[in-house]
Amino acid sequence: MSLPPQATAREHYPSDLNDAQWELVEPFVRGNPVGPQPVVHPRREVLNAILYVSRTGVQWRYLPHDFPDWQSVYAYFRQWKKDGTLKLVHDVLRSKVRQKAGRSSQPTAGILDSQSVKSDVQAQTRGYDANKKVKGRKRHLLVDTLGLLLVAWIRSADVQDRDATGAVLPLAAEQFPTLQKVWADSAYEGPRVERIAQQAGVEVEIVKRTDPTPGFVVQAKRWIVERTLGWLSRERRLTRDYERTEESCEAFVYTGMIRLMLRRLA
């Protein structure tokens, strides 16, 4: 695997993009400026640095010196987060992965679940999940039947799963008109969810636990989203919520999925 000419001065990191992966994402970041100044740092190296932060969990200021300076890398991350570049790259790659797997680019079914994680005191929003006994934020994720992310909605951990459907299902229906059915656990059961689902034009089916045995049990459909949460836990930046804003946390969720899908494509 070859590195670009500008990167030959440093050793390769496992998180670096290879040539084929860079070709997939380069069109989306090539013409994306940060401020009026000329391009100083190669975009491939900037993206490699963001992927390094996501994978290792290192703080921005502790970014290795053989990457572009951390201020520039963070400036690009912030810009690509705000203007939707990271989400656009993610969505395009998801369509490619689905098509490679022999599926339509647009999903007809999904699985919904949430994950509560501890957050730092610097977080703008924090809440207490009494069920999981976690103070922090909750990641509400809707994935397709391949486990690929469709919707990520991040809020404080005290937001109940039933209440989150008021945001997640309308977003899903707007972005994916083909979506017809969503599987979820009993935390999403109730008339409020039924009403929201009906308004969104989506059927929500509750998958209940059938095995009374204590402990973890693999359950139909629900295991798919749980596997996605496991994939994301490999990104050390996501092992807890280190971000000040919910938007940054969401951006790192996209970054983690971008890495996963690039490995499947190239």
What pTM value is reported for the model?
0.90
| Cα–chain center distance at 145 | 16
| Residues sharing a CB contact under 8 Å with residue 108, sequence separation 6 or more, in sequence order | 178, 179, 180, 181
| Residues sharing a CB contact under 8 Å with residue 59, sequence separation 6 or more, in sequence order | none
CATH of the domain at 146: 3.30.420.10
Residue 167 inside a domain? The answer is yes
166 shares a domain with 47 = no
227 shares a domain with 157 = yes
Work out how many domains the chain is built from and give that number. Answer: 2
Is the pLDDT confidence value at 6 over 50?
no
d(CA 25, CA 12): 19
157 shares a domain with 64 = no
Residue 253 inside a domain? The answer is no
Q: Whole domain around residue 22: which residue ranges?
A: 5-32+39-83
CB 157 within 8 A of CB 129: yes
Residue 150 inside a domain? The answer is yes
pLDDT digits (tens, 9 = 90+) for 227-246: 999 999 999 999 999 999 99
Q: Note the pLDDT of residue 14.
A: 96
Strands 203-206 and 181-184: parallel
Q: Note the pLDDT of residue 210.
A: 64
Question: What percent of the chain lies above the pLDDT cut of 90?
Answer: 83
d(CA 66, CA 3): 14
207 shares a domain with 116 = yes
pLDDT digits (tens, 9 = 90+) for 10-61: 899 999 999 999 999 999 998 656 655 556 789 999 999 999 999 999 999 9
Is the pLDDT confidence value at 74 over 50?
yes
d(CA 124, CA 122): 6
153 shares a domain with 196 = yes
Domain endpoint, select from 49, 83, 117: 83
231 shares a domain with 119 = yes
Task: Say which residue the tokens 């005290």 belong to.
Answer: 158
